[in-house]
Amino acid sequence: MFATSQVMFLRIAAIYGDVFAERVMGNLINFKNFCTGCEPVCSECRKGYGSYVGDIVGIHQVEPPSPTMIEEAEEYFKDMNFNECDLLLVVAIHHDLLASIDYIIERTGAKAILAPIEDPTWIPPGLREQVKETLDKIGIEYAFPKPFCTLEPGEGKLIDEFMETYKVGKPIHYVDMKGTDIAEIGPLRSAPCGCTWYVSQKIRGKSIADTDVLFDEIAKAHHSYPCTASMAKDREVGDALLHVAGYNARYAVCEATGIEDCRSAPEKEKGH
């Protein structure tokens, strides 16, 4: 379970064109009623997580991806009051703005960029490689997790510290079993949007004896949160990013409870 003390202090800023970023920030801020997994009575499972509102130094909403061109990105940003930060979360911003990532870094002083992809249209592969090349040249850490809940350690020192400090990334659960029943469960590391907290509340007390029933409960909870990843098939991944996030939610429970057959592939689920 979580200790209330932080591992370290990071200055986090976000620049975004999709409300998904607000959900990630909400998870870090941990404001009252952020999660409604225990309705109508809250069990206060998130109390031990604390709040990292003091680490967030800037939130900037900008244009989302669209066919309309932004010819002068620097002019677009000119009147924005950017605070210095260590890690910049970049979510679904206009492609022309993302292509000017070096200017954004110059304004923010960011040392690491996290640019999650919850929808294939947010960052096309060609643009991602262009941005990576720019970041490599100026020595900036980066990660482009697709979707955000696939983020694992190894992307860079600051990004690893971000994951460790705020306990976000690819989900991991702790669990206490009573026979085949899940007596207690909760996230050691949550999906950045906070979905893992919700899923754990919905499967507490459930049995692992019938995995079909358990997996159905996990899937329903994941959809009900709801997960906002795209249902469009991603060509690189070969599946919808919503499905990838759903598999991650299931894997976390399987790993924690010792279920060996987690049925990870859609073809296996369909019996193909």
User: Which residue is listed with tokens 């000119």?
Assistant: 78
Q: Please indicate, yes or no, whether the overall pTM of this predicted structure exceeds 0.75.
A: yes
Mean pLDDT for the stretch of residues 123-132? 98
Mean pLDDT for the stretch of residues 195-200? 96
Cis peptide before 120 (omega within 30 of 0): no
DSSP strand pairing (56-61 vs 112-114):
unpaired
Q: Which of 187, 239, 195 is nearest to 218 (CA)?
A: 195
12-166 is classed CATH 3.40.50:
yes
Residue ranges of domains in the chain: 12-166, 172-269
User: Which residue is listed with tokens 């040249």?
Assistant: 137
Q: What is the pLDDT of residues 132-162, one digit of tens each?
A: 999 999 999 999 999 999 999 999 999 999 9
The predicted structure's pLDDT at residue 269: 37
Residue 230 near residue 118 (C-beta atoms within 8 A): yes
Query: Above pLDDT 90, what percent of the chain?
Result: 85
Secondary structure letter of residue 63 according to DSSP: P
Mean pLDDT for the stretch of residues 222-245? 96
Element (H, E) at 239: strand 239-240
Burial (CB count within 10 angstroms: exposed 0-12, middle 13-18, buried 19+), residue 148 = buried
